[in-house]
Amino acid sequence: MPLGSDEKNGERCERSICMNNPHLESLKEDILYHLSLDTANHDLPKQFGDVKFVCVGGSPWRMKSFTEYIAKELGLADPKGEYPNLCEGTDRYAMYKVGPVLSVSHGMGIPSISIMLHELIKLLYHARCTDVTIMRIGTSGGIGLQPGTVVITKKSVDATFLPRFEQVVLGKTVVRSTDLDIELAEELLQCGKELGEFETVVGNTMCTLDFYEGQARLDGAFCSYTEEEKQNYLSEAYAAGVRNIEMESSVFAAMCKLSNIRAAVVCVTLLDRQKGDQLSSSHDLLHSYQQRPQILVSHYIKKTLNAFKS
């Protein structure tokens, strides 16, 4: 099996995936069930060994359209426009690859992205990838921001505004750090400035287990609080530095940190939650907002690859 590409180039300071599971070594074969990939029937180093950037997002359609977009941006577009789904044996997730960029969908919520990340981290490890950067490009509700603003996450915080992720292991709660790469966040902010196409800010992101009650919405099937209580909660969040709310960043940050992978969260705000709860903007406007994290992250990838070449 080929070595990771950086290893071939003789680089000294390559950053490897850290595998925190001694049991894996004793597995004859590793089945990445929800990705419909495994080590017995797939040559993972050959297929994925050159991956340097992984972009993840909730929707499979969006991750496919991101692949088409970044392929054009990097001058790697397939003339036939064909990007096969590398997880075609399952409908749990979708995965696309173009050059050094892997694009994977993760569904909605912490458990869904967590299953994907377990298997993705093992995939990158089996493929002997090095110097990988993972970026989540998603959507969110904003607080005190113009809809369409892109938020680069400084710290991912829980519903009490603390930067931690609680993982249950054998029935006991373990608290993990949700630190993200500060340098990467700053580089992404710089990319936003260079583009100048839309507002980009750095702020804390609140990660919740629920879209309705968990985010103080008034329009779910259940609501036991008043509009005033909702507004007070969102104001407290704002005071704690929270600029947007989504449902995956905490476990994403925790898992990438434990695995020694540079990670960033880049989400566009689809509405200002202090002004409403329903996503009532036109389909076209919401669609154009959703492209912004893609544009920002593509700019960063292009810039990084160009710097590496020169």
Q: Are 249 and 165 in contact (CB under 8 A)?
A: no
Q: Does 195 sit near a copy of itself (CB under 8 A)?
A: no
Token pair belonging to 41? 């029937």
Candidate residues 1, 3, 24, 182; the one interacting with a copy of itself per rule CB under 8 A = 24
Q: Does 2 sit near a copy of itself (CB under 8 A)?
A: no
H or E element, residue 253: helix 249-258
Give the number of C-alpha atoms closer than 13 A to the C-alpha of residue 80, restricted to the C-beta side.
3
Q: Does 88 sit near a copy of itself (CB under 8 A)?
A: no
Q: In the bound complex, what is the minimum distance in angstroms from residue 117's beta carbon to a copy of itself? A: 7
Nearest CB to a copy of itself, comparing residues 8 and 287: 287
Token pair belonging to 271? 């509405």
Candidate residues 2, 43, 46, 61; the one interacting with a copy of itself per rule CB under 8 A = 61
Q: Does 199 sit near a copy of itself (CB under 8 A)?
A: no
H or E element, residue 51: none
How far apart (Å, rounded) are the C-alpha atoms in residues 36 and 113?
A: 16
Q: In the bound complex, what is the minimum distance in angstroms from residue 76's beta carbon to a copy of itself? A: 25
Q: Are 157 and 235 in contact (CB under 8 A)?
A: no
Q: Does 230 sit near a copy of itself (CB under 8 A)?
A: yes
The torsion angles phi and psi of 98, rounded to 5 degrees, stand at -140, 120
Q: Which residues pair with 172 in a beta bridge?
A: 169
Q: In the bound complex, what is the minimum distance in angstroms from residue 36's beta carbon to a copy of itself? A: 9
Q: Are 152 and 185 in contact (CB under 8 A)?
A: yes
Q: Does 57 sit near a copy of itself (CB under 8 A)?
A: no
Residues making contact with a copy of itself (CB under 8 A): 19-24, 27, 29-31, 33-34, 58-61, 89, 91-92, 107-112, 114-115, 117-119, 121-122, 125, 159-161, 167-171, 208-214, 216, 218-225, 227, 229-230, 233, 236, 247, 255, 258-259, 278-280, 283
